[in-house]
Amino acid sequence: MARWEPDAAGRLRAAALDLYVDQGYEQTTVAEIAERAGVTARTFFRHFADKREVLFAGSDVLAQRMVEATVSAPAGDAPLDAVGRALEVAAEMFGAGHDHSSRRQRVLHDNPELLERELAKMAMLAGALTDALEQRGVDRAAAQMVAEAAITVFRVGFDRWATGPGEPSLEESLREALAQLRTVVG
Amino acid sequence: MARWEPDAAGRLRAAALDLYVDQGYEQTTVAEIAERAGVTARTFFRHFADKREVLFAGSDVLAQRMVEATVSAPAGDAPLDAVGRALEVAAEMFGAGHDHSSRRQRVLHDNPELLERELAKMAMLAGALTDALEQRGVDRAAAQMVAEAAITVFRVGFDRWATGPGEPSLEESLREALAQLRTVVG
């Protein structure tokens, strides 16, 4: 068994999710995840701090890309349209992985501790998008509200897509959630 | 020292917050909180599960009153106006305690674990308001979005008020946050 393989992180993520779905998050150990992925526990810890973080490994990259999309949106975009581009980027990142997202969402809903962590990540994402909008010249208070509204749309639209059959697409689900927010608030 | 006093819970809450602000949340023990409140640790545990829950003691009552306000809003109220009444109730409950809320918010911002817990409580509140709106005949998807939007307004408006000087009032701060949401989304 190779001590280091380029795809170890990906296999560890898949193995962890399989085990969390099959036998429960609480009941699963790092040793079991590593074994299923065909690596050592030491390899696991080179990639992830603990068994919880396996489920949140992509969130830094997500935040970075969403921030980039917001900052680089056309100058004429209204603030909500600019973060709308960040939502499109998120849809590109996750849209093809309905099965994975669906199973991950189930594990989250079954474990309040994980749901809390997800909410905290979403709050950090809202903070990052607030900063991104400020870079576009939006004043801080408005930027915060736009970012929070976008994250609400993201959470609701993503959850509907992930807990549903996968159709309509994530992109469409986010678009519908945004349209719904406009309807109920307008 | 009396083993049981009607106001023990209130004194424990005040003592806990004093200690969290003065010496830090992590550094404070239940024994210290109880001593400062003039009760035994056993009395502490009659009122609160642990030192974290002292900070979230009012959240069930808050949720209950906000649900009642939403359900009993005039039949002609649009969904967002109905939850707007729940925000008014929240403002009545907390509006007079700026000093307490301000110090509590500081402790929360200093401890990610507490901030996660607060977000989880807010998510539960959104769920309760979704159910309340459904009782009014709003369809589930719209009810969820309205409730999430209201909680976003609550979180942002409350945080601005609690981390600010206390003027404008909480009621006004929530009203401004709602107006701002309408502006940025509309």
**Which residues on B lie below 8 Å from A145 (Cβ)?**
152, 156, 177, 180-181, 184
Per-residue pLDDT of chain B (186 residues; tens, 9 = 90+): 445 556 899 999 999 999 999 999 999 999 999 999 999 999 999 999 999 999 998 899 999 999 999 999 999 999 999 999 999 999 999 999 999 999 999 999 999 999 999 999 999 999 999 999 999 999 999 999 999 999 999 999 999 999 999 999 999 999 999 999 999 997
Q: Which candidate from A120, A142, A160 shows the least CB-CB separation from B184?
A: A142
Residues in chain A predicted with pLDDT less than 70, given as ranges, are 1-6
Is B93 an 8 Å CB contact of chain A?
A: no
Taking the C-alpha atoms of residue B111 and residue B106, their distance in angstroms, rounded to an integer, is: 9
Question: Hey, are the CB atoms on A120 and B112 less than 8 Å from each other?
Answer: yes
What is the per-residue pLDDT for B177? 96
Is B181 an 8 Å CB contact of chain A?
A: yes
What is the per-residue pLDDT for A162? 96
User: What secondary structure does DSSP assign to B50-87, as a single string?
Assistant: STTGGGGTTHHHHHHHHHHHHHTS-TT--HHHHHHHHH
**Which chain B residue has the Cα nearest residue A84?**
B185
Its pTM stands at 0.90
What is the per-residue pLDDT for B186? 79
Please give the torsion angle defined by the CA atoms of residues B118, B150, A66 and B115, in that order, rounded to the nearest 10 degrees.
Answer: -10
What is the per-residue pLDDT for A88? 96
What is the per-residue pLDDT for A149? 95
User: Which of A166, A151, A144, A143 minimizes the C-alpha distance to A59?
Assistant: A151
- For chain A, the 3-state helix, strand and coil shares in percent, each to the nearest 5, are 75, 0, 25
Check: complex ipTM more than 0.90? no
What is the per-residue pLDDT for B58? 86
What is the per-residue pLDDT for A1? 47
User: Considering only residues 103 to 142 of chain B, which have any Cβ-Cβ distance to chain A shorter than 8 Å?
Assistant: 112, 115-117, 119-120, 123, 141-142
In b/e form, how buried is each residue of A24-53, taking b as 16+ CB within 10 angstroms? ebeebebebbbebbebbeebbeebbeebee
User: What secondary structure does DSSP assign to A3-46, as a single string?
Assistant: S--TTHHHHHHHHHHHHHHHH-TTT--HHHHHHHHTS-HHHHHH
Taking the C-alpha atoms of residue A136 and residue A140, their distance in angstroms, rounded to an integer, is: 11
